[in-house]
A and B are shown apart, each in its own frame.
Chain A
Amino acid sequence: MTRSLFFKFLARAMMPILILFSIFFLLRGHNQPGGGFVGGLVGASSIVLMTLAYGPAEVASRLRIDFRRAMFWGVIVAAIAGLLGLIFQSSFLESIWFKPYIDGIGKLELGTPALFDTGVYIAVFGVTVSIVMAMADESDREAE
C-alpha cells in the first residue's frame, strides 16, 4: 500500500490537536456535553489516523503502549471510582466531590465522576485502538 506524503504530514499535524481535543472533551464531561466515551473515541481516532498514514507496524513500534493493558487499567480505574462511592458513601457509583480552592486558578471541582470518566476514556481508547490495529494488521498481511 502506498501512503501519500501529504496524508502522513496531515496525520502528524492532527495528532497532538486530536489528543488535546479529546482531553478537553474528557474534562468538559459531566456538566457539559462530552465525557470519557467521546473523549476516548476522539483520542483513539488520532492513533487510527497515524495507523492509516504510517501502517500498523511502524505505529506499534513507535508507540510501545500495550493497548490491551490500557483496557484493563481503564476498567480498574472506573471500578475504583465506583467503589469509592460504595466505601465512603452508601452505594456503588455514588459521587464524592472534593472542591479545593487554588490561588490563581480558582475553584476546582474534582470528584469521582471525573475519575470514572477517566477510566472510561482509557478503556475506550484502548479498545478502539486494539480493534483497529488488529484489523489493520490483518489487511496488511493480506496485501503482502
Chain B
Amino acid sequence: MTLLFAITIGVLFACGIYLVFRRSLVRLIIGLSLLTYAANLMIFTSGNLLRRGTPIAGETPPEAMSDPLPQALILTAIVISFGVTAFTLALGYRASQAVGGDDLDAMQTTDREEMK
C-alpha cells in the first residue's frame, strides 16, 4: 500500500514539475496544484497507512486510534491551497489579459527592460 502511494506521489510530482516547466500559463497553474496534491498525499502517507479507529477520546482506546495529526495538517494545507489556487487563477486571468495570451515567454519585460 505504501509503495502504491509512493509511486502515486512520485507520478504527481513528476507531472506537476513537467507542467510547471511548460510555457503555457494555464499549465503552470495546473502544475502548481498538482504539486500541492502530491505534498498532501505525502503528508497523508507519513502518518502510516493503517486501518484504525476514529481518533476521538472516549470512543476508541488510545492504542487503536489512527493518527489524527496528518489529517489535520492536510486539512490546513488543503484550505491554504484552495485560497492560493483561487488567487493564481485570478492572477493568471489578469496577466493573460495584460499580455494578450498565455505564453510565459512573453512575460519578460520586468527582467529585460531598463526602466525608461
| Contact, chains A and B (beta carbon distance below 8 A) | yes
Residues on A lying within 8 angstroms of B by beta carbon are 31, 37, 131, 135
A67 CB to nearest chain B CB (Å): 15
Query: Which residues of chain A have C-beta atoms less than 8 A from B90's C-beta?
Result: 135
Give bound CA distance, A131 to B75, whole Å. 20
Determine whether the beta carbon of B79 is less than 8 Å from that of A37: yes
Q: Is the interface of B mostly helix, strand, loop or mixed?
A: helix
**Mostly helix, strand, loop or mixed at chain A's interface?**
helix
The answer, among A31, A37, A131, A135, for a CB contact under 8 Å with B56, is: A31
**How many residues of B are in contact with the other chain, CB < 8 A?**
5
Q: Say whether B86 contacts A131, CB under 8 Å.
A: yes
**Closest approach, in angstroms, between the C-beta of B107 and any C-beta of chain A?**
21
Give the chain B neighbours of A31 by CB distance below 8 A: 56
Q: List 5 A-B contacts (CB under 8 A).
A: A31-B56, A37-B75, A37-B79, A131-B86, A135-B90
CB distance from A126 to the nearest CB of B (A): 14
How far does the alpha carbon of A31 sit from the alpha carbon of B90 in the complex, in Å? 37
Closest A residue to B93 by CB, please name it.
A138
CB neighbors of A among B77-95 (8 A): 79, 86, 90
- Nearest Cβ on chain B to A42's Cβ, whole angstroms: 15
The docked-state distance in angstroms from the alpha carbon of A37 to that of B86 is: 17
Which of chain A's residues has its CB closest to B57's CB? Answer: A31
A31 and chain B: residue at smallest CB distance: B56
**Which are the 5 A-B pairs with shortest beta-carbon distances?**
A131-B86, A31-B56, A37-B79, A135-B90, A37-B75
**A131: which B residues are within 8 A, CB to CB?**
86
Q: How far is the CB of A93 from chain B (nearest CB, A)?
A: 14
A residues less than 8 Å from B86 (CB atoms):
131
